[in-house]
Structure 1
Amino acid sequence: MKATINWAGEASFKATSGSGHTVQMDGPPDHGGRDLGPRPMEMLLMGLGGCSSFDVMSILQKSRQDVTDCRAELEAERADEVPAVFTRIHLHFVVTGHQLKENLVKRAVALSAEKYCSASIMLEKAGVAISHSYEIREA
């Protein structure tokens, strides 16, 4: 896996993934940025949410659950001192569908957290306290 980050002036950077996709990152105005994109630490948090959501949906689809929507809401806390690393992250999944089985949703979230989500497991090994919850909504 590869990525390239190009400085775009001031506090702005263009990131290009190995697969050719790009995203603009930028800092806030009080740090010399123009607020043109997410902050790098926000990208890390969004990557974690995407990684875990990918797992949860894959597991639920293999379990033949009729999911119509899946949203991951993440909240993170960071250390007050530099480096301002993540200290705690909570992922809350809102899974919507037709007659979803709670035991299968619970299992999908747990398997992502404990076995499949590389981002989550890597951050936990680095000392970040990661927690998960879910709710099920009927479509």
Structure 2
Amino acid sequence: MKATTTWTQGISSVITDNRGHETIVDLPEAKGGQDLGPTAFELCLMSYSGCVNTIFNIVSKKMRFEFTALEVDTIGHQKDGAATFTDVEVELRIDTEASDEKIESCLEKTLKICPVGVLFHQAGVNTTYKIMRLQKA
């Protein structure tokens, strides 16, 4: 696995995964950037959200339950002027017929094996979670 970052202009860069995918990182205009993409720090939190969503999908299939909608928010906090995240809240919203217990079990298993979450945990970031059922329209 390899990532390559190439400066493009101003403060912005393009990051590639060397499999043909890329994203732009930049800073907001208020911090001297052109706001062409998320900051690298925001991308880190976005990665956690995406990882939880992906791993939850895999674990739920193994647990044999389906859902019709799944959304994951990650909210990062930097307490006491910390340079990085000190706490992350994971909010999972789901539409499923599965029991609350099954959803919670799946999320707990997900958080234990989500590679990005494991990195956050090893860095001492406290993670809490909340599960909400999506309302059918």
Fold agreement, TM-score > 0.5: yes
Gaps of 5+ in 1: none
Q: Secondary structure of the residue that 1:127 maps to in structure 2?
A: coil
Instruction: Give the CA deviation at 1:66.
Output: 2.6
Name which of structure 1's ranges 124-133 and 60-69 shifts more when overlaid on structure 2.
Answer: 60-69
**Cα distance in 1, alignment partners of residues 43 and 79 from structure 2:** 17
Residue 108 of structure 1 pairs with residue 76 of structure 2: no
Q: 1:22 to 1:130 in 2, by over 3 A?
A: same
Match of 1:119 in 2: 116
Report 1:1-139 matches (<5 A).
Answer: 1-79=1-79, 81=81, 84-97=83-96, 99-114=97-112, 116-137=113-134, 139=136
Amino acid of the residue matched to residue 74 of structure 2?
L
Amino acid of the residue matched to residue 49 of structure 2?
G
Q: Is the 8 A contact 2:63 2:106 kept in 1?
A: no
Q: Secondary structure of the residue that 2:6 maps to in structure 1?
A: strand
- TM-score normalised to structure 2 length: 0.90
**Cα distance in 2, alignment partners of residues 84 and 124 from structure 1:** 16
- Identity among equivalent positions (%) equals 24
Deviations 1:70-121 (A, max 9, x none): 100111112554x721111000100113x2222221111000112x111111
Query: Where does structure 1 differ by over 2 angstroms across 4 or more consecutive aligned residues?
Result: 61-64, 136-139
Name which of structure 1's ranges 42-51 and 30-39 shifts more when overlaid on structure 2.
Answer: 30-39
Gaps of 5+ in 2: none
Structure (1 or 2) with the greater strand fraction: 1
Amino acid of the residue matched to residue 65 of structure 2?
Q
Name which of structure 1's ranges 20-29 and 72-81 shifts more when overlaid on structure 2.
Answer: 72-81
Instruction: Give the CA deviation at 1:5.
Output: 0.4
Amino acid of the residue matched to residue 71 of structure 1?
E
